[in-house]
Amino acid sequence: MRRATARLADAGVPSPRVDAEELLAHVLGVERGEVRRLALLDRELPGDAGARFAALVARRASREPLQHLTGTAPFRHLELVVGPGVFVPRPETEQVAQVALDEAARAQAARGRAVVVDLCTGSAAIALALATELPGSRVHAVELDAAAHAWAARNVAAVTAAAGAAEPLVHLVRGDARRALAELDGTVDVVVSNPPYVPPDAVPRDPEVAAHDPAVALYGLGADGLEVPRGVTAAAARLLRPGGLYVMEHAEVQAAAARAMVADAEGFGPAETLGDLTGRPRMVVARRLGGARDGGPEES
């Protein structure tokens, strides 16, 4: 563990000890806490575990994402399967899911059931979080990219099976977010999205993102990176019922531009910027005009 931690630290990995523990836990098929216990006891590694661990450490030192090496990524209370071809869910997106969840819970309390749409769902992280944390809600998710859609389908199937549900917890659609789910137009309580939004000239700093996250999940097109989000915003206006809420993640430098984007779209009340768990401005929130709750979103 000491050698692995030192090697990862020398490679610039931000959390070398944690990553080393996660990799060894993966090799041994145990929890990270058990790895710590075994290290304190200075136990020997069984069989070829040492060689397999060393190989994974070498790959992590080359800045291959930890989640690609273990095959899983945590998101809120879920453990999702991920790998090449799908965007790895990040902790900052968990607060985006929370804002959507709080609004869906209010809608469900008022009308008996909430209808939620997750556009550009990727691994289906947000959609599955809402579906499992708000039983009785009807959650739809849309993904265009074939590889990402395949990962989302695996996660929907796995989480549904773990819940013992007879029907899929999320209605997953492969399609263009701008045109998908036309049958739901004007009926949705919450539209949430973590779309591609990185501007074309902004190269991600972390090698794990720049070299391994799919470009289709990163770059939002247009000079400001908001061309794809504009299409998502127009779809949200189409899908939402009067008074329904739109929640979209963006880069912290795009807060003003994202509010202006929503203002330019037809049908929304005043847009607000909300922060992630660290307080950074990371999402735009706006309510569809025409309902009793016009006048802006409520902070959660």
204 in a labelled binding site = no
195 in a labelled binding site = yes
Distance (Å, rounded) from C-alpha 52 to C-alpha 64?
Answer: 16
Domains and CATH numbers, the chain: 2-62 (no CATH), 93-287 (3.40.50.150)
Q: What is the pLDDT of residues 246-274, one digit of tens each?
A: 999 998 889 999 999 999 998 999 999 99
- As given in the structure block, the two tokens for residue 137 are 């809600």
194 in a labelled binding site = yes
Confidence of residue 224 (pLDDT cuts 50, 70, 90): confident
Q: What is the pLDDT of residue 205?
A: 65
Encoded amino acid at 238, one letter: R
65 in a labelled binding site = no
Confidence of residue 300 (pLDDT cuts 50, 70, 90): very low
In the predicted model, what is the mean pLDDT of residues 219-235?
Answer: 85
Distance (Å, rounded) from C-alpha 136 to C-alpha 118?
Answer: 16
Given a contact cutoff of 8 angstroms between Cβ atoms, the answer to whether 85 and 148 are in contact is: yes
- As given in the structure block, the two tokens for residue 218 are 């990163």
190 phi and psi angles, rounded to 5 deg: -140, 130
155 in a labelled binding site = no
- As given in the structure block, the two tokens for residue 182 are 């036309």
**pLDDT higher than threshold 90 for residue 222:** no
